[in-house]
Structure 1
Amino acid sequence: MIKAFINQTRSLISRSDISLIIPSSIPVENNEDGTRTHNIYLSDHYNSAQISNNFILNVLMFFSMLDAYVDNKYPALVGGNFARKLRRMPKVSISEIVLREVYRIYKVIRNATIHNAGSIDIDEKGNIFIQYRFNDTKYDLEITPKGLQLLNSITFEFISPFESRSTKYSDALRVSLLTDLRKEIKKFNDENNSLDHVISNNLSFKYGRRYRPQPVRIDWSGNKLTIQNPHELHPIEASFSGVDYEIINGDNKYLVPSEALINNSISLEQLSVWKLS
């Protein structure tokens, strides 16, 4: 029942006009004459459900889907209220920390929507202001439209990853999305006070466009590998784009982001964390 609800809600969102941030994977052919061919595929998907302007419906869909995902992932939490679930959600891995923080932020929005809709103000720019009291706790949130888009995008990314990849790749993507989300939250307070310190984002993973060049020429020397034909990004898109290198070694396949390379090289020990399952 829970999985069916998640899948049906995900499908509705996918067919709607709700804007989500999903990395664009762009295949690139490295031709023998030194030129490159970029293959860009246009989607013919029609957004049949026009629901993006319905704030309450959006909140209920995304939080209900997120809550169902948490119940499915952590069966021991089923039946508890939202605050109890939040307290008991694990926060060991990077993705667990991101999931918990997204749940925490969305809990404030959901509770205001259901129990105190009059506490929500949305200005002409789409900025959202929430302020209410419950059990002697002041709940406070100011978030921009981009922040809400990022919150929805991370939620959707957990439920429906855009592709199969390593745990390390998922962590890099999710923490980068969360880092940008935190920049769009101007004020926050709940029963646990302000938000925790943001997770360190050492890779600065770019999630706008991900170029996938083929073939990749590799020099395997000693305990590292070096990309001999690295894909160069145009300066105008370097701030939001990155490159993913598909590397095959025997029966093992890896997807290594350019942000993980130093001078186009990576040690074999570090390579192992980017292995595709």
Structure 2
Amino acid sequence: MLLAFDIGNSNTVLGVFKDGKLVTNWRIETDPNKSADEYGMLVRQLFDYEGLVMSEVRDVIISTVVPSVLFTVQHMSQKYFNRRAIVVESGVKTGLIVKYDNPKQVGADRIVNAVAAYNKYGGPLIIIDFGTATTFCAITDKAEYLGGTIAPGLKISSEALFQKTAMLPKVELEEPGTAICRNTIQSMQSGLIYGHMGMVEFMVRKMKKELEELTDTDRPVKVVATGGLASMIESGVGCIDYVDKLLTLEGLEIIYRKNRRSRHIHKDKMKCDCDKETR
């Protein structure tokens, strides 16, 4: 089995794959204060609840935008699974041609999403990830990652309104039903949610135009959305073609398969070198 970690700023999503198929997945809070043992015990509880056996995990892969948690989860992988985790970073095979000015600056989650979306839907593509930040990524039909946009996510915007104003309350992120609202809570919900929908419509329209100018393909640009709030936003816009909540986990499994052979060759070489030293 393969255990995959997508460590985001707010939440961490874990997935277990067996023979390339996603068996189960969980979403937990990302906590930089947790120790490797605490993460290990939490994973053990999740496995026990699903009737899974931790000793059957043969590899671990990690994608993260939270460096402070990376070392902790790597340590957990080594201690509880006896595996040195693959980390999605520079040097890992993805199948993408990254056109960013500095490819090392592209968040691992954005690359992983792009790998999964391109493999599933082909290009050209726009991928929207509704997470702590709302990100937009553009991929050509030749698997070129061109770049994109990073905007504040809905939760960040909501927290900012609450923290930076004296009179505005904290609100639930749900549609009020109207844009002309008659109370403060619904007025905030309208601005947050419908304002975000408007931003999405504008960004997709602008990125589609730029993609058409940068590529010479006649294929239509497909728009794929992922992340916890994707379904809410998709319900109020007309520009999203697919909502794919498990995109990042599927991308991690694809990247693992692309790197599995070289990883095993490296392990075999290390074993041979050790054997030589003991003779």
- Normalised by the size of structure 1, how large is the TM-score? 0.26
Between structures 1 and 2, the one with greater helix share: 2
